[in-house]
């Protein structure tokens, strides 16, 4: 019985430490993210997808010599759309951590746009 209690306590401590390292909060279970944070995560994944498509297009052009100008133009348009959505979301965000995430994402998007142009 003591062993089982010890294992449960160790598991709870490990969970608290994990949550602290990933979220910065001392909680047994992580809090659900705000709607703004969820939207920021969605926009970040869309940006990652665009970056992956850009890298794939560059590799394809290098291997086959195919002109990827249209693809890059489309990626630029999509990146600018993400940038506009992040700017709108920055106006709505209330939590400081979400504001920092939005600012970081905006820098990533503008860096990517600068890379495309």
Segments making up each domain of the chain, as ranges: 1-31, 33-116
Consecutive H or E run containing 84 = helix 69-92
Q: What is the pLDDT of residue 78?
A: 94
> How large is the average pLDDT for residues 3-21?
86
In sequence order, what DSSP letters do the residues of 20-69 get, joined into one string?
HHHHS---SSPPPPPHHHHHHHHHHHHHHHHHHHHHHHHHHHHHH----H
pLDDT tens profile 38-97? 899 899 999 999 999 888 876 655 556 555 566 778 888 999 999 999 999 999 888 888
10 Å CB burial of residue 101 (0-12, 13-18, 19+) is buried
Q: Give residue 17's pLDDT.
A: 86
**Is the entire prediction scored with pTM above 0.75?**
no
Structure confidence at residue 97 (pLDDT): 84
For the chain, the maximum distance between any two Cα atoms, rounded to a whole number of angstroms, is 69
């Amino acid at each position: 019985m003591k062993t089982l209690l010890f294992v449960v306590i160790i598991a709870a401590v490990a969970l608290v430490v994990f949550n602290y390292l990933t979220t910065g909060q001392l909680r047994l279970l992580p809090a659900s993210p705000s709607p703004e944070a969820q939207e920021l995560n969605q926009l970040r994944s869309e940006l990652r997808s665009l970056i992956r498509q850009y890298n794939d297009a560059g590799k394809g052009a290098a291997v086959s010599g195919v002109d990827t100008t249209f693809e890059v133009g489309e990626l630029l348009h999509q990146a600018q759309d993400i940038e506009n959505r992040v700017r709108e979301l920055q106006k709505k965000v209330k939590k400081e951590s979400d504001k920092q995430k939005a600012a970081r994402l905006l820098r990533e998007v503008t860096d990517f746009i600068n890379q495309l142009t």
